[in-house]
């Protein structure tokens, strides 16, 4: 893939597809003209978003497969059988690499929906891919090759971090890193609201809160120290941090976050079983 622009197609053009497409373009792995996306005719915003990238924006799925080397399936889980339904008996060459970001849809289910020559990899990225700070994982299907895994890894590393995992972990991964940005956004908002309550201008409070969360995350990632050790380094005896931590412990912050991951994981399992 070195020096070669990939022809990438998206079946489904929502927020995740747009984030990935923008990330691939920013990283130099594709250009607008090497990307094609299909969207529902009623989704005018997504159709326009792909046009704004310089990509081809259409309302049919078969041309996406015909024109692409890598096809990214990025529709809602219950739409996957409908979106892929046209491909199995279409007679087109579907011997492509298919990456699916659909929550709860297993590699086995994807392989049953696609022509037998298709190679499948299940992916779970997250929306910070838009600013090349995504946290992605992937699982290879039975026909996917090591080269397919390498292509997937390079694509996902261009928009953040990437790790290969076992499929039974995917529901918990979805609950943690897939949904996790939403939890963090609420925390940033709460930090800023606290600052505003104590007299800070709101724009300053948001800037400080966002940078604080980003910096703390980088400390955990880059120093490889246990978060508890880093927390202790900030916490002076009898200080303001110790007082704030005590308040959070009394209000059950840890228990609430753990419970959120558990609840979201169970929801992912439910989607996998029912399709919606």
Give CA torsion, residues 10, 14, 16, 17, to 10 deg.
Answer: 20
Distance of alpha carbon 199 from alpha carbon 24, whole angstroms = 41
CA distances from 51 to 18, 25, 30, 32, 128 (A): 11, 14, 15, 9, 21
Q: What is the pLDDT of residue 19?
A: 86
Which residues does the annotation place in the binding site for NADPH?
A: 61
Q: Which ranges of the chain have pLDDT less than 50? A: 1
Q: What is the pLDDT of residue 87?
A: 82
Q: How many CA atoms lie within 13 A of 19 on its CB side?
A: 21
Record the tokens describing residue 172, joined without a space: 């918990």
Domains of the chain: residue spans and CATH: 8-166 (3.40.50.720), 180-273 (1.10.3730.10)
CA distances from 202 to 185, 193, 196, 198, 213 (A): 15, 8, 6, 11, 16
Distance of alpha carbon 242 from alpha carbon 195, whole angstroms = 17
Give the E-state strand segments of the chain in sequence order: 8-11, 35-38, 56-58, 70-73, 97-100, 119-124, 134-140, 160-164
- Model confidence over 36-72: pLDDT tens digits? 999 989 999 999 999 999 999 999 999 999 999 999 9
First and final C-alpha spacing in the chain? 36
Distance of alpha carbon 158 from alpha carbon 151, whole angstroms = 11
Q: What is the pLDDT of residue 157?
A: 92
Burial class (CB in 10 A: 0-12, 13-18, 19+), 181: middle
Which residues does the annotation place in the binding site?
A: 11-16, 61
Q: What is the pLDDT of residue 117?
A: 87
- Model confidence over 129-154: pLDDT tens digits? 888 899 999 999 999 999 999 999 99
What predicted TM-score, i.e. pTM, was given to this entire model? 0.88
User: Coil, helix or strand for 203?
Assistant: helix
Q: What is the pLDDT of residue 156?
A: 94
Q: What is the pLDDT of residue 275?
A: 67
Which residues does the annotation place in the binding site for NADP(+)?
A: 11-16
């Amino acid at each position: 893939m070195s020096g070669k622009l990939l022809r990438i197609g998206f079946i489904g053009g929502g927020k995740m597809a747009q984030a990935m497409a923008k990330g691939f373009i920013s990283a130099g792995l594709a250009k607008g003209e090497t990307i094609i996306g299909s969207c529902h005719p009623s989704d005018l915003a997504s159709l326009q978003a792909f046009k704004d990238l310089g990509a081809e924006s259409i309302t049919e799925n078969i041309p996406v497969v015909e024109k692409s080397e890598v096809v990214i399936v990025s529709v809602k889980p219950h739409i996957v059988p409908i979106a892929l339904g046209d491909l199995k008996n279409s007679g087109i060459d579907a011997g492509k690499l298919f990456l699916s970001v659909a929550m709860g849809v297993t590699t086995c289910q994807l392989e049953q929906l696609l022509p037998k020559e298709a190679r499948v990899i299940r992916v779970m990225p997250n929306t910070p891919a838009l600013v090349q700070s995504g946290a992605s994982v992937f699982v290879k299907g039975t026909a996917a090759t090591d080269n397919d895994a390498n292509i997937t890894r390079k694509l996902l590393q261009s928009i953040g971090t990437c790790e290969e995992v076992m499929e039974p972990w995917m529901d918990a991964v979805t609950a943690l890193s897939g949904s996790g940005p939403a939890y963090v956004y609420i925390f940033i908002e709460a930090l800023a609201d606290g600052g505003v309550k104590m007299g800070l201008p709101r724009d300053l409070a948001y800037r400080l809160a966002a940078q604080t969360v980003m910096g703390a995350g980088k400390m955990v990632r880059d120093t490889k120290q246990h978060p508890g050790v880093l927390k202790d380094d900030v916490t002076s005896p009898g200080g303001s941090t110790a007082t704030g931590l005590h308040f959070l412990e009394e209000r059950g912050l840890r228990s609430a976050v753990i419970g959120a991951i558990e609840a979201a994981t169970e929801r992912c399992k439910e989607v996998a079983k029912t399709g919606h």
